[in-house]
A and B are shown apart, each in its own frame.
Chain A
């Protein structure tokens, strides 16, 4: 598995060299074009990440987590993972830290632990991805992209836990 990418890059450079491409020159040219994009991204990201940080520190997310816990319990999903589900779209590393906390507390192979793992694995840090990509394209009004992404995330978690119940004899 870990050889695929280096090998792919080897093939790419080899093929380009055979085609008579000046690889070094082409690489420099491509990388040079990347710099303005990154710098252009920065102001957008600063605004959006600041907004997300304020939203999170205001304690709204804790209240949503409370509400979510009771909904989750009603449909048979361990309520212990509600804060994790709220954190996941905002922070990848934060979600992994919380996952490790849940696994240590309830056991990695318990139903709670498995549900938490699937919930993290089948979703994405939606707000970061949206911030970066919209910043890159200069998009200010993402229209229905956020609701669609959130719905897809919810479906992912629900299906993941349904699949868990099917696959594992718990």
Chain B
């Protein structure tokens, strides 16, 4: 990706902007981590409280069966995956990311810490791309700010379409699993 960008930048005769884009991108990673840091610490702390109280174990037991239909080799990741999907569902992006990171770490343990993604990791990543959300709060806020007569009119179509997107994610992953094994 970097190489193709540099080549294209050179063809367009604007190497300076390539360099500034590289620095900006790397700069963004620091900002992203900082913006993530607080909520990650908070939610990981709370998860550990739930861990000690035996709650995550219960959640994992409950969710293992339905989730293992999608991801057969789910192991310890069932609880964080369930938390990630439900946080996304109620529109808590800040909480969803920490749970997602935790889920990925568990899936990676299950995968033998290999650098190549397992079937389960691909399925989880694809599912996360479909953004199944009850209330897309940020879009509603922008619509209200832009003087919409009915900012909520998009809730139902958005919800329906994200369900189809999730379905497409599952089916595509299953197809790729068949082809690539």
Residue from A5, A138, A147, A167 in contact with B92 in the complex, judged by beta carbons closer than 8 Å: A5
B126 at the binding interface (Cβ < 8 Å): yes
Residues on the B chain within 8 Å of A156, using CB: 130-131, 161-162, 164-165, 168
A37 touches B122 (CB 8 A): no
Nearest 7 pairs between A and B by C-beta?
A30-B48, A53-B25, A156-B165, A160-B161, A54-B5, A108-B148, A149-B129
A152 to B, closest residue via Cβ? B169
Contacts A38-B37, A122-B131, A152-B172; A142 near B125 (Cβ below 8 A)? yes
Q: List 11 A-B contacts (CB under 8 A).
A: A34-B44, A50-B22, A117-B154, A121-B131, A132-B100, A133-B100, A139-B115, A140-B116, A152-B126, A152-B169, A163-B157
Contacts A122-B165, A163-B156; A149 near B44 (Cβ below 8 A)? no
A7 at the binding interface (Cβ < 8 Å): no
B21 touches A56 (CB 8 A): yes
A106-145 vs B, Cβ < 8 Å mask (1 yes, 0 no): 0011000110011011111010111011101111111111
B115 to A, closest residue via Cβ? A140
Residue from A9, A55, A141, A149 in contact with B1 in the complex, judged by beta carbons closer than 8 Å: A55
The tally of residues in A whose CB lies under 8 Å from a CB in B reads 94
A159 touches B125 (CB 8 A): no
Q: Complex Cα distance A150/B128, Å?
A: 11
Residues on the B chain within 8 Å of A60, using CB: 4-5, 8
B95 to A, closest residue via Cβ? A5
B26 touches A134 (CB 8 A): no
B160-181 vs A, Cβ < 8 Å mask (1 yes, 0 no): 1110111111001100100010
Residues on the B chain within 8 Å of A53, using CB: 21-22, 24-25, 28
A149 touches B125 (CB 8 A): yes
A19 to B, closest residue via Cβ? B53
B111 CB, nearest partner CB in chain A, Å: 8
Residues on the A chain within 8 Å of B48, using CB: 26-27, 29-31, 33
Residue from B32, B46, B142 in contact with A12 in the complex, judged by beta carbons closer than 8 Å: B46
Q: Complex Cα distance A158/B92, Å?
A: 25
Residues on the A chain within 8 Å of B5, using CB: 51, 54-55, 57-58, 60
B75 at the binding interface (Cβ < 8 Å): no
Residues on the B chain within 8 Å of A33, using CB: 44, 48
Interface centre among B8, B23, B37, B45 (most CB of A within 10 A): B45
B165 touches A138 (CB 8 A): no
Residues on the A chain within 8 Å of B180, using CB: 143-144
B46 touches A109 (CB 8 A): no
B137 CB, nearest partner CB in chain A, Å: 9
A4-15 vs B, Cβ < 8 Å mask (1 yes, 0 no): 110001001101
A76 at the binding interface (Cβ < 8 Å): no
Q: Complex Cα distance A12/B33, Å?
A: 27
Contacts A30-B48, A143-B117, A145-B121; A121 near B136 (Cβ below 8 A)? yes
Q: Complex Cα distance A24/B164, Å?
A: 42
Contacts A16-B50, A167-B157 supplied; 20 other A-B pairs, CB < 8 Å: A9-B46, A15-B53, A16-B53, A26-B45, A33-B44, A42-B33, A46-B29, A49-B28, A50-B29, A53-B24, A54-B18, A55-B2, A103-B146, A109-B153, A117-B143, A122-B162, A133-B101, A136-B100, A144-B172, A144-B180
